[in-house]
Amino acid sequence: MTGDKGTIPEWSPNKDALRGHVVVVAGATRGAGRGIAAALGEAGATVICTGRTTRSNQSEYKRPETIEETVELVTHLGGKGIAFAVDHLVPDKVKSLAEMIGKDHGHIDVLVNDIWGAELLKGSPADWNTPIWKHNLDSGLRILRLAIDTHLITSHYLLPLLIKKPGGLIVEVTDGTNEYNASYYRISVFYDLSKVAVNRLAFSQGHELQPYGATAIAITPGWLRSEIMLDNFGVLEENWRDALKTTTDKSRPHVPLDFALSESPRFVGRAVVALASDPNRARWNKQSVGSGQLASEYGFRDVDGSQPDIW
C-alpha cells in the first residue's frame, strides 16, 4: 500500500481477536459509534448496537443512518450485530436493555459510551464562541443532558454486567484529551463542559471499577470523517482527499489544510479493539488518550493505511 509518504507497512485486523466477546456500543447509529461497532465486527465480537434512529423511527437529526445498517455492517465484517433501539436519556429503556443483555448473554466484556446526539445543538462554526449569556439556555442544558446524563444512566444499569467477571473494559468517547481540553476553550461553555466531564467520568469510573479488575478509559478520535462531515465537504469516504483540492466552487465550504490529518470512524474503533485485546490494558485505567496515540502504541492503521494524529 502506498501513501503520501511512500510505502506504508501492511496491517490488517485480526478477525478472531474478540471472538466470543460481548460488547455494547451505546450510540452506534453513525460517526464514531458506527466506526467502533464496525471495528469490533472486524475482530469477531458480538456487538449490541444501540441508538434512536431505526428504519421505522428517526431522531431529530433527520439523518438516513440507522442502527440496523450498523448491525448489518458488523455482521458483514465478521462479527455478530444486534440492534436495540434505546433513548439513553430514559432510564427505564436502558434498564430494559440491561435486562435483555443479562438474560441473553449473562454479562458484557466491553461497554462503549459513545452517546452524543447534540451535533445540531452545538451549531455551525458561525455559532461558536457565543458567550453563555447570549447562548440559548434550553439548547445548552440539553447538550449537557445528551452528553453527560446519557453516559451516567448507561453506566448505572450496564456496569453491573461488566463486573460479573474480571477484565471488563468501559470506554468513554469524548472530544479532546485532558491535556488538550485543559488549555483550549471548546466551542461554547456547554460543549466545553460536556467534553471535559466525559474525560473525568472515565477517571472516576476507573477508580470505582479497579477493585473489580475492570478498566475505564476515555478515548478521543481526531478530526473525524463522520457521515455529517463528509456531507459538509461534498465527498465520500472513498474520495475524501478530493476535498483538499483547490476549487473555485463557492458553494463548497473552505477545507482547512489539517483536514489531511483527519481519520475515518473505523480508526478510533480499531483503538477500542486494541485496548480490548490487550491483557495488560489496566495500565491505561483512568487515562485520557487519543486514537493516534494508541495507534502508535499498538500499531493498528486506518482504512487507508495511515496513522493520523491531529492532537
Contact 109, 169 (CB under 8 A): yes
Contact 196, 190 (CB under 8 A): no
The helix (H) or strand (E) run that includes residue 216 is strand 215-220
d(CA 214, CA 292): 23
**Mean pLDDT computed over 241-269:** 75
pLDDT of residue 76: 97
**Could you give the domains of the chain?**
2-224+265-298 (3.40.50.720), 227-262 (no CATH)
**Which of 131-145, 235-249, 296-310 is predicted with the least confidence, judged by mean pLDDT?**
235-249
Residue ranges of the alpha helices (H) in the chain?
31-42, 67-76, 91-104, 119-122, 137-144, 150-162, 178-181, 189-209, 227-233, 265-277, 291-298
What is the tens place of the pLDDT at every residue in 59-110? 888 888 899 999 999 999 999 999 999 999 999 999 999 999 999 999 999 9
What's the CA angle centered on 159, arms 156 and 160, to 5 degrees?
A: 100
pLDDT class of 284 with cuts at 50, 70, 90: very high
d(CA 59, CA 258): 31
CA 97 vs CA 73, 78, 90, 102, 157: distances in Å: 21, 24, 11, 9, 9
pLDDT class of 2 with cuts at 50, 70, 90: very low
Find all residues with CB under 8 Å of 270, minimum gap 6, and list them: 13, 39, 42, 291, 295, 300, 301, 302
Is the pLDDT assigned to residue 217 strictly greater than 50?
Answer: yes
pLDDT class of 250 with cuts at 50, 70, 90: low
On whether the pTM is more than 0.75, the answer is yes
Is the pLDDT assigned to residue 3 strictly greater than 50?
Answer: no
pLDDT of residue 230: 83
CA 150 vs CA 118, 145, 205: distances in Å: 12, 7, 15
- Comparing 108 with 224, the larger pLDDT belongs to 108
**Mean pLDDT computed over 126-149:** 94
Q: What is the 3-state secondary structure (H, E, C) of 34-56?
A: HHHHHHHHHCCCEEEEEECCCCC
Count of other CB atoms within 10 angstroms of residue 102: 16
**Mean pLDDT computed over 190-194:** 95
What is the tens place of the pLDDT at every residue in 5-63? 455 668 899 999 999 999 999 999 999 999 999 999 999 999 999 999 889 888 888 88
Is the pLDDT assigned to residue 211 strictly greater than 90?
Answer: yes
The helix (H) or strand (E) run that includes residue 84 is strand 80-85
Average pLDDT, the chain: 91
Is the pLDDT assigned to residue 229 strictly greater than 90?
Answer: no
Contact 3, 304 (CB under 8 A): yes
| The residue count for the chain | 311
**Mean pLDDT computed over 204-230:** 94
d(CA 209, CA 207): 6
d(CA 236, CA 234): 7
**Mean pLDDT computed over 107-114:** 98
Is the pLDDT assigned to residue 178 strictly greater than 70?
Answer: yes
Among 182-186, 255-259, 284-288, the range of highest mean pLDDT? 284-288
pLDDT of residue 239: 84
Find all residues with CB under 8 Å of 106, minimum gap 6, and list them: 161, 164
pLDDT class of 1 with cuts at 50, 70, 90: very low
Place of cell 464514531: 32
pLDDT class of 4 with cuts at 50, 70, 90: very low
